[in-house]
């Protein structure tokens, strides 16, 4: 059986915890031999000096500089493989001190990784956390990773309905969002039937192709308390959300009408569906982070490439203190591996 290609991991903000969790993830996965024997290894797109400092901080072996992804498996036996980015860092990195001057190198790490995935040199992309506020200072004009990745891949065909669509996964719960990085007032005002239908179609296809679920079951959240209580507490369920569900069921997609959001996420309720569709950021992320704060994974659906990410930020406050936990990054790497296997029919 042929081996899968390695997973590309972008370094993220070098002043945050990204480099630390990358070297810790390598150590944890290398100890269990899962990288070298049961799936794709990973390599980091980043600055070797930053990864070297992170390894020293964590009392781990120095990273191994590679020239191509094909060297990843051999190098991974000795240290985390690092493929230098096409744009070097412009300043000396100070841990916990975000610097917009680092942004070109951060962008290059993402762009190089995407290119390697599109060219067939890497099987999937895992992105370490970036600071959107720092990137904005340097002229970054995308709301976040998700939208930027959609732009970088927009000229390449997808194998199903095109996203991007954000999924959060943890502790067996999968949540997709009809809106992403928007204020609550903007997200609520933008809810419409067409967007719900588009979201459900993307999620339905991805659950089949990338998660191996032959007959996906979708739960659709309401917007208002008690899902509107038949119009007594709001009309969005009657006028927008349930009409979308009816259209989707006519297409053969298994989806509920609007459910009260406060009763969707307890143990018995979660057993009834494979993914929940929520309408704004916190409606979906609070349940996932409550259930699995340290192991949640952010997944982008509807792209030509597979992309996952740890479901946390740069944590500048603890960067450089050897306190960062790698569980979410490890879960993101393993989730990417699982999606690669399903997409390739294994």
Q: Tell me: do 268 and 122 sit in the same domain.
A: no
Q: Tell me: do 260 and 172 sit in the same domain.
A: yes
Name the β-bridge partners of 175.
168, 276
- Domain of residue 238 covers 158-303
Q: Tell me: do 343 and 226 sit in the same domain.
A: no
Q: What is the tens place of the pLDDT at every residue in 221-265? A: 999 999 878 888 889 999 999 999 999 999 999 999 999 999 999
Q: Tell me: do 175 and 54 sit in the same domain.
A: no
Q: Mapping DSSP to helix (H, G, I), strand (E, B) and coil, where does residue 18 land? A: helix
DSSP code per residue over 137-182: HTT--SSSHHHHHHHHTTTS--SSS---EEEEEETTEEEEES--S-
Q: How far is CA 242 from CA 24, 128, 239, 245, in A?
A: 46, 37, 7, 5
Q: Which two tokens stand for residue 308?
A: 């996952």
Sign of the CA dihedral with 84 first, then 67, 20, and 298 last: positive
pTM: 0.92
Q: Tell me: do 20 and 147 sit in the same domain.
A: yes
* 22 has a pLDDT exceeding 90: yes
Q: Tell me: do 166 and 81 sit in the same domain.
A: no
Q: Tell me: do 229 and 263 sit in the same domain.
A: yes
Q: What is the mean pLDDT of residues 297-325?
A: 95
User: In the chain, pLDDT over 70 holds for what percent of residues?
Assistant: 96
Q: What is the tens place of the pLDDT at every residue in 122-162? A: 999 999 999 999 999 989 988 888 899 999 999 999 988 99
Alpha helices in 33-170 (DSSP H): 34-37, 48-57, 72-75, 103-118, 132-137, 145-152
* 288 has a pLDDT exceeding 70: yes
Q: Tell me: do 288 and 175 sit in the same domain.
A: yes
Q: Mapping DSSP to helix (H, G, I), strand (E, B) and coil, where does residue 110 land? A: helix
The DSSP symbol for 4 reads P
Q: Tell me: do 77 and 27 sit in the same domain.
A: yes
Q: What is the tens place of the pLDDT at every residue in 82-102? A: 999 988 776 677 888 888 999
Q: Tell me: do 11 and 106 sit in the same domain.
A: yes
Q: Tell me: do 149 and 176 sit in the same domain.
A: no
* 79 has a pLDDT exceeding 90: yes
Q: What is the CATH number of the domain that holds 27?
A: 3.40.718.10
* 3 has a pLDDT exceeding 80: no
Q: Tell me: do 153 and 164 sit in the same domain.
A: no
Number of domains within the chain? 2
């Amino acid at each position: 059986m042929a081996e899968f290609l390695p997973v590309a991991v972008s370094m993220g903000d070098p002043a945050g915890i990204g480099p630390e969790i990358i070297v810790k993830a390598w150590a944890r996965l290398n100890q269990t031999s899962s990288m070298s024997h049961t799936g794709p290894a990973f390599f980091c797109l980043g600055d070797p000096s930053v990864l070297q400092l992170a390894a020293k901080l964590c009392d781990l072996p120095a990273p191994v500089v590679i020239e191509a992804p094909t060297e990843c498996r051999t190098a991974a036996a000795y240290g985390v493989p690092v493929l230098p980015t096409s744009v070097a860092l412009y300043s000396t990195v100070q841990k916990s001190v975000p610097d917009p001057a680092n942004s070109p190198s951060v962008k290059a790490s993402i762009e190089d990784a995407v290119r390697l995935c599109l060219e067939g040199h890497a099987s999937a992309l895992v992105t370490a956390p970036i600071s959107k506020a720092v990137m904005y200072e340097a002229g970054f004009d995308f709301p976040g990773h998700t939208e930027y990745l959609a732009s970088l891949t927009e000229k390449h065909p997808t194998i199903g309905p095109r996203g991007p669509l954000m999924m959060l996964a943890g502790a067996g719960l999968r949540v997709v969002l009809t809106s992403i990085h928007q204020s609550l007032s903007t997200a609520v005002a933008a809810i419409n039937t067409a967007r719900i239908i588009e979201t459900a179609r993307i999620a339905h296809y991805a659950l089949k192709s990338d998660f191996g679920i032959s007959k996906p079951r979708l739960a659709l959240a309401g917007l208002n308390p008690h899902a509107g209580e038949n119009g007594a507490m709001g009309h969005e369920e009657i006028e927008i959300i349930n009409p979308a569900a009816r259209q989707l069921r006519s297409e053969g997609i298994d989806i509920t009408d609007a459910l009260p959001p406060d009763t969707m996420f307890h143990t018995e309720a979660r057993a009834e569906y494979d993914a929940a569709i929520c309408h704004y950021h916190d409606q979906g992320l609070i349940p996932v982070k409550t259930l699995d704060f340290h192991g949640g994974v952010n997944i982008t659906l509807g792209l030509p490439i597979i992309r996952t990410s740890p479901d946390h930020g740069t944590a500048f406050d603890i960067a450089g203190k050897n306190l960062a936990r790698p569980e979410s990054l490890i879960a993101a790497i393993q989730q990417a591996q699982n999606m690669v296997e399903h997409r390739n029919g294994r």
